[in-house]
């Protein structure tokens, strides 16, 4: 194999030595390599001291354009570089050799190259009293960011080891550069016509460490900038290993910044991709289920546009200026409840940057819109701290994004899809970010793409109210931040009721308080007319949702003229009660309603019996006129069980020996009957309780006379009729308790 004998000085005088990106970090100086390091230095010392020859095996690499790129030998070359530098400093012969040493550099990290160049450029005093690394670290030219570079850290360790080994030496630099005592064999693969030197490197040097995805990305992106945006390559190179690294170091995972940095980079790239698809700069050719897949081809497409590259760089600089993102987001957002001067996110995770860069799954489409929008706003406004304009802007974005929901039976579910982002993002960036406050922007006639005209009109109405009477701003924000509204307070009819909004806000806070039982709230709201929303149709009739814990917003934001009247009427009725705590006020409302409502109305029972309600509160009415042919559904569909609410209450109120409510459920289109254990069934009909008696039983006439029970004309079938002013549940309970005493088993008597 062709080879040549070289000393380090001969090699570096002939070529610039460039440690390539595919190489691992400098390892001989690591804390864990102490034995290897000391042994290697001792061998060199003994060779120079005794003037004997030391062969350092082969150095293998590529020669290209007067540059030698080692594929094997990086560790030895770096140590020899540091040894030459130290001995030159120690012997006071810097001028004799430093010009040659300046041709040594690292491509693995710019910080490594910067450090090596600084060693050559600046003077460092060598004394035996302190470690030379301390003198370097204390120098004004030493950057703290270099400490985070594992190669620089290892070089400093190696310099201390060299100092310890060669501190008492004399004239060793001359021996090192003027003799051939320390040599190695140099192999050039080009002379051997080797076409894949990197592959051969991996085979020849099993110690070589594969680069991380992050290192590959940095090298590849730097090359991309060299070819496409050379005017910005220095900004990237200077920042990626300095201030950006310093910032991400505070968010490292497993002691490295690779994952958080790449997550953030991919997030910015993804959003810029969506923005680009809306203005036609490139097509949707990289989608899986409408979400961008971040490949390097996509990265090149996105950042071909210089403004996108600047947005990336500016956003990273902004984060560096913010410094403490946790404090920043805590100043901007509240979690689940309203806090003055903050915007409620209705989420326990309000540090959007942490959600973006962490390993959890809590960074969805909404959070991406919020984070990118506020970054864009801060960059355009040149701010890095929270101010009122930012709060107003992000509140508007929060309000608009939370309107993109659709009712699914009892819940409002977000219907945000990635295919919607191009219009949404461009609507925000083209319309809502300017030097003016968003309330002023909203006063103009405008169209914000991606959002419904009703949503925009509602925000414009709020803006007009706030500008005309700034005192309303605090009240409107409190209402928006309530979990029942999540930004949309249109059902309060705010233009007409502007003078009542503060009182409405107080009433809502008092009634929908976690300390008040949901059943009591449900009883009270059903004293108002039509306090419900239509959910769906079914074989049992139309399904209506009445509200429940954490799902009240389905009623509060439903675009329905009925709910505007119901909600405002209910709140007004509550506010008319001037004395008492909220619970007492609700009980007064219910009692007053019972004094006037008929027992023939379902609302009498729904406001009287809290047992009617559970975790679902989805009911099916046989018809609009039905008061008693109602089913309480366990699930949104009819595949689950259901029960007539009156049947369930009666079953729960009689002894288990007579009936158990668990036996009274129907399924599908089946009727739900009060199934007594003796076989008698009671069906809740509009006229009263239909009683079906099995063939083997007979009801005593005395019981039939005691209550208004008449035959329906069908064998073994009777009707327990309602009496004006009598509670049919109480009637059924009393009747069922008497049945065991007034029933005869005909077949048993015959026997």
- Tell me the pLDDT band of 211, cut-offs 50, 70 and 90: low
The yes-or-no verdict on residue 200 having pLDDT over 60 is no
Q: Return the DSSP state at 187.
A: E
- Judgement on whether residues 434 and 451 belong to the same structural domain of the protein: yes
Say if residues 166 and 159 touch (Cβ distance below 8 Å): no
At residue 407, the pLDDT reads: 86
The yes-or-no verdict on residue 670 having pLDDT over 90 is no
pLDDT digits (tens, 9 = 90+) for 674-706: 999 999 999 999 999 999 999 999 999 999 999
- Tell me the pLDDT band of 283, cut-offs 50, 70 and 90: low
Say if residues 126 and 163 touch (Cβ distance below 8 Å): yes
Q: Could you identify the residue written with the tokens 């414009």?
A: 460
- Judgement on whether residues 687 and 586 belong to the same structural domain of the protein: no
Say if residues 22 and 198 touch (Cβ distance below 8 Å): yes
* Distance, CA of 433 to chain centre: 23
The number of residues in the chain equals 751
Task: Tally the domains of the chain.
Answer: 5
- Judgement on whether residues 150 and 278 belong to the same structural domain of the protein: no
Give the SS3 label for residue 315: helix
Count Cβ atoms within 10 A of the Cβ of residue 5 and give its class: 0-12 exposed, 13-18 middle, 19 or more buried: exposed
The yes-or-no verdict on residue 385 having pLDDT over 60 is yes
**CA pair distance 718, 709, nearest whole angstrom:** 6
Q: Is residue 500 part of a domain?
A: no
Q: Is residue 357 part of a domain?
A: no
Query: Angle at CA 584, nearest 5°, toward 583 and 586?
Result: 65
At residue 593, the pLDDT reads: 94
Count Cβ atoms within 10 A of the Cβ of residue 106 and give its class: 0-12 exposed, 13-18 middle, 19 or more buried: buried
Q: Of all helices (H) and strands (E), which one includes residue 6? A: strand 4-6
**CA pair distance 679, 685, nearest whole angstrom:** 19
- Average confidence (pLDDT) over 163-188: 87
Say if residues 152 and 115 touch (Cβ distance below 8 Å): yes
pLDDT digits (tens, 9 = 90+) for 82-105: 999 999 888 888 777 888 999 998
**CA pair distance 533, 573, nearest whole angstrom:** 20
Q: Is residue 43 part of a domain?
A: yes
**CA pair distance 627, 674, nearest whole angstrom:** 17
The yes-or-no verdict on residue 2 having pLDDT over 60 is no
- Judgement on whether residues 176 and 224 belong to the same structural domain of the protein: no
Radius of gyration of the chain (CA): 40
The yes-or-no verdict on residue 68 having pLDDT over 60 is yes
- Judgement on whether residues 11 and 132 belong to the same structural domain of the protein: yes
The yes-or-no verdict on residue 292 having pLDDT over 90 is no
The yes-or-no verdict on residue 497 having pLDDT over 90 is yes
At residue 13, the pLDDT reads: 93
Q: Return the DSSP state at 669.
A: T
DSSP string, 672-729: --EEBTTS-EEEE-SSEEEEE--TTEEE-HHHHHHTTEEE-SSTTEEEEE--TT--HH
- Judgement on whether residues 300 and 152 belong to the same structural domain of the protein: no
Helix axes 213-228, 296-303, angle to 10 degrees: 40
Q: Range with the lowest mean pLDDT among 3-7, 188-192, 399-403, 505-509?
A: 188-192
- Judgement on whether residues 154 and 192 belong to the same structural domain of the protein: yes
Tokens representing 589 are 């409302």
126 or 75, higher pLDDT: 75
Closest CA to 275 of 297, 307, 249: 307
> Going by C-beta distance under 8 Å and a sequence separation of 6 or more, which residues neighbour residue 616?
410, 548, 632, 633, 634, 635
- Judgement on whether residues 59 and 172 belong to the same structural domain of the protein: yes
Tokens representing 179 are 């003799």
Q: Is residue 450 part of a domain?
A: yes
Q: Could you identify the residue written with the tokens 């003796």?
A: 678
User: What is the pTM assigned to this prediction?
Assistant: 0.75
Q: Return the DSSP state at 500.
A: G
Closest CA to 69 of 32, 16, 116: 16
**CA pair distance 28, 74, nearest whole angstrom:** 10
**Last residue of some domain: 157, 186, 204?**
204
Give me the sign of the Cα torsion angle 590, 591, 596, 599. Answer: positive
Q: Is residue 96 part of a domain?
A: yes
Tokens representing 579 are 């004395």
At residue 193, the pLDDT reads: 47
- Mean pLDDT over the full length of the chain: 88
Tokens representing 436 are 């003016």
Tokens representing 59 are 């150095």
At residue 212, the pLDDT reads: 65
Tokens representing 390 are 């930012």
The yes-or-no verdict on residue 747 having pLDDT over 70 is no
- 336 vs 129, 347, 371, 374, 394, CA distance in Å? 60, 6, 18, 20, 16
- 683 vs 635, 666, 672, CA distance in Å? 22, 12, 7
Q: Is residue 358 part of a domain?
A: no
The yes-or-no verdict on residue 266 having pLDDT over 60 is yes
**Last residue of some domain: 204, 231, 254?**
204
Say if residues 365 and 425 touch (Cβ distance below 8 Å): no
**Last residue of some domain: 204, 234, 263?**
204
Phi–psi pair at 576, nearest 5 degrees: -70, -20
- Judgement on whether residues 283 and 176 belong to the same structural domain of the protein: no
**CA pair distance 462, 693, nearest whole angstrom:** 62
- 77 vs 96, 216, 635, 653, 739, CA distance in Å? 19, 23, 73, 90, 102
- Tell me the pLDDT band of 319, cut-offs 50, 70 and 90: very high
- Judgement on whether residues 51 and 29 belong to the same structural domain of the protein: yes
- Average confidence (pLDDT) over 231-235: 91
Beta strands in 254-386 (DSSP E): 287-288, 291-292, 333-334, 343-344
- Average confidence (pLDDT) over 232-243: 88
At residue 36, the pLDDT reads: 83
**CA pair distance 597, 582, nearest whole angstrom:** 23
The yes-or-no verdict on residue 481 having pLDDT over 60 is yes
Closest CA to 524 of 632, 606, 580: 606
Count Cβ atoms within 10 A of the Cβ of residue 732 and give its class: 0-12 exposed, 13-18 middle, 19 or more buried: buried
Say if residues 264 and 239 touch (Cβ distance below 8 Å): no
Furthest CA-CA distance within the chain: 131
> Going by C-beta distance under 8 Å and a sequence separation of 6 or more, which residues neighbour residue 481?
334, 337, 338, 339, 343, 344
Say if residues 88 and 97 touch (Cβ distance below 8 Å): yes
At residue 216, the pLDDT reads: 72
Q: Could you identify the residue written with the tokens 């390892």?
A: 27
- Residues of the chain above pLDDT 90, percent: 60
Q: Is residue 254 part of a domain?
A: yes
Say if residues 721 and 710 touch (Cβ distance below 8 Å): yes
At residue 641, the pLDDT reads: 86
265 or 747, higher pLDDT: 265
- Average confidence (pLDDT) over 28-33: 85
- Judgement on whether residues 249 and 107 belong to the same structural domain of the protein: no
Domain that holds residue 667: 641-750
Q: Is residue 393 part of a domain?
A: yes
pLDDT digits (tens, 9 = 90+) for 533-577: 988 888 888 999 999 888 899 999 988 788 999 999 999 999 999
- Judgement on whether residues 342 and 296 belong to the same structural domain of the protein: no
At residue 252, the pLDDT reads: 85
pLDDT digits (tens, 9 = 90+) for 579-595: 999 999 999 999 999 98
Beta-ladder partners of 184: 6
């Amino acid at each position: 194999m062709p080879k040549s004998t070289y000393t380090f000085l001969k090699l570096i005088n002939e070529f610039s030595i460039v440690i390539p990106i595919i190489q691992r970090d400098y390892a001989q100086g690591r804390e864990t390599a102490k034995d290897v390091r000391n042994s290697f230095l001792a061998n060199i010392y003994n060779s120079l001291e005794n003037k004997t020859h030391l062969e350092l095996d082969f150095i293998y690499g590529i020669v290209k354009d007067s540059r030698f790129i080692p594929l094997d030998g990086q560790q030895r070359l770096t140590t020899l570089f540091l040894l030459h530098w130290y001995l030159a400093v120690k012997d006071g012969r810097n001028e004799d050799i430093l010009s040659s040493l300046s041709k040594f550099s690292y491509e693995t990290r710019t910080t490594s190259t910067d450090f090596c160049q600084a060693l050559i450029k600046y003077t460092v005093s060598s004394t035996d009293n302190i470690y030379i690394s301390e003198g370097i670290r204390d120098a004004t030219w030493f950057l703290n960011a270099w400490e985070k570079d594992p190669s620089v850290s290892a070089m400093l360790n190696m310099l201390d080891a060299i100092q310890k080994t060669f501190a008492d030496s004399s004239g060793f630099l001359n021996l090192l550069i003027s003799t051939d005592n320390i040599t190695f064999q140099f192999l050039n693969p080009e002379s051997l016509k080797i076409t894949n030197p990197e592959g051969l490197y991996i085979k020849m040097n099993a110690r070589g460490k594969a680069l991380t995805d992050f290192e590959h990305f940095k090298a590849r992106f730097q090359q991309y900038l060299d070819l496409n945006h050379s005017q910005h390559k220095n900004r990237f190179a200077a920042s990626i290993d300095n201030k950006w690294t310093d910032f991400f170091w505070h968010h490292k995972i497993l002691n490295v910044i690779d994952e958080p940095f790449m997550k953030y980079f991919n997030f910015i790239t993804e959003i810029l991709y969506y923005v680009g698809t809306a203005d036609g700069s490139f097509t949707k050719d990289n989608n899986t289920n409408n979400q961008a897949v971040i490949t390097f081809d996509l990265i090149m497409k996105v950042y071909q546009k210089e403004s996108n590259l600047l947005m990336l760089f500016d956003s990273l600089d902004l984060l560096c200026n913010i410094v403490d993102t946790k404090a920043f987001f805590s100043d901007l957002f509240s979690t689940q409840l309203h806090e003055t001067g903050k915007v409620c996110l209705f989420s326990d995770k309000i540090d959007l940057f942490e959600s973006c860069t962490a390993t959890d799954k809590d960074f969805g489409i909404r959070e991406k819109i919020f984070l990118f929008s506020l970054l864009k706003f801060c960059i355009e406004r040149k701010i890095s701290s929270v101010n009122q304009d930012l709060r107003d802007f992000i509140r508007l974005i929060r309000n608009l994004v939370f309107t993109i929901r659709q009712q699914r039976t009892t819940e409002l579910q977000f219907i945000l899809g990635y295919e919607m982002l191009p219009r949404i993002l461009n609507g925000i960036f083209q319309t809502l970010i300017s030097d003016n406050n968003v309330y002023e922007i909203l006063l103009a006639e405008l169209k914000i793409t991606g959002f419904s005209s009703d949503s925009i009109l509602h925000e414009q109405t709020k803006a007009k109210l706030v500008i005309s009477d700034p005192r309303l701003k605090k009240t409107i924000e409190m209402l928006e931040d309530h979990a029942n509204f999540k930004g949309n307070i249109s059902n309060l009819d705010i233009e007409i009721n502007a003078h009542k909004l503060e009182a409405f806000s107080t009433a809502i806070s008092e009634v929908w308080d976690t300390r008040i039982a949901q059943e009591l709230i449900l009883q009270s709201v059903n004293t108002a007319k039509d306090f419900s929303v239509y959910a769906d149709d079914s074989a049992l009739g139309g399904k209506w949702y009445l509200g429940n814990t954490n799902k009240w917003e389905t009623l509060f934001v439903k675009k329905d003229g009925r709910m505007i009247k119901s909600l405002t009427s209910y709140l007004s009725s509550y506010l008319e009660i001037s004395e008492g705590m909220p619970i007492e006020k609700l009980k007064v409302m219910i009692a007053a309603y019972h004094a006037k409502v008929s027992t023939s109305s379902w609302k009498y029972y729904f406001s009287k019996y809290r047992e009617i309600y559970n975790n679902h509160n989805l009911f099916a009415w046989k018809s609009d006129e039905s008061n008693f042919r109602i089913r309480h559904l366990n699930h949104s569909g009819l595949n689950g069980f259901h029960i007539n609410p009156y049947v369930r209450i009666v079953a729960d109120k009689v002894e288990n020996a007579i009936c158990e409510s668990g036996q009274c459920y129907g399924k599908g289109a089946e009727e739900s009957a009060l199934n007594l254990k003796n076989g008698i069934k009671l069906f809740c009909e509009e006229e009263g309780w239909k009683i079906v008696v099995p063939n083997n039983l007979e009801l005593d006439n005395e019981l039939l006379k005691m209550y208004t029970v008449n035959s329906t004309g069908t064998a073994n079938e009777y009707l327990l009729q309602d009496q004006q002013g009598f509670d049919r549940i109480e009637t059924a309970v009393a009747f069922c308790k008497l049945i065991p005493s007034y029933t005869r088993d005909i077949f048993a008597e015959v026997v």
